[in-house]
Amino acid sequence: MTQLHLFYVFAALVTFCSVMVVGSRNPVTSAVFLVFDLFLLAGIYAMMEAHFVAAIQVLVYAGAIVVLFVFVIMLLNLEQESHGKVRVSIPDIVMMGITGLSFVIIAFLVARVPSMATVGEMTPEAIAAAGGNTYVVGMVLFTKYLWPFELASILILLAMVASIVIAKKDKAAKPGRRRTVNANQ
């Protein structure tokens, strides 16, 4: 049962890193632990033989999104603001209670209700027989889930265009202002 033991190691590390993300005072420390977190999650995916998802997880989340987090934190230089004393208020306690309760409920459901803990038809062997991870994911994305996939892409494109429109300075709005060379950059 080496795989199970490895899973426990990864799970414990993921939990530790997640706690450190919310618990550490320095925002850069939080961001670095977030990277570890995402990387270890990719390790768990890889242990489930889902290599494609693992690689994409590292490529997109750890390699691109959190880099931008680190950028923003570094440029804003948030460190000075992080020395306030942590105070736990009543809403915080309520939220913690709700979170803990939901965790217990989910753990109970997974352990007790058989339909939530069964193995689906796409076992690692079935995927290997069907032509490998990437092939299976690609086939499902471009046949069964084609429309949701395309709609999601358009949504992301929309967000990109919207952010460019918002960031772009309007030339016509201020006719009296002298245009500088770098007005659009």
Site for other proteins in 119-178 (CB under 8 A): 132-134
Our CB check for other proteins shows the closer of 108 and 142 to be 142
Site for other proteins in 101-130 (CB under 8 A): none
Q: For the stretch 31-50, what's the b/e string if a residue is b when 16 or more beta carbons lie within 10 angstroms of its beta carbon? A: bbbbbbbbbbbbbbbbeeeb
Half-sphere exposure of 45 (CA within 13 A, CB side): 16
Among the residue ranges 14-22, 62-70, 105-113, 159-167, the one whose residues contact other proteins (CB under 8 A): 62-70
**Total residues interacting with other proteins, rule: CB under 8 A:** 24
Distance CA 31, CA 21 (A): 7
Give which of 61, 57, 66 is closest to 28, Cα–Cα: 66
Which residues are at the interface with other proteins (CB under 8 A)? 26, 28, 32, 35, 39, 42, 51-52, 55-56, 58-59, 62-64, 67, 70-71, 74-75, 132-134, 185
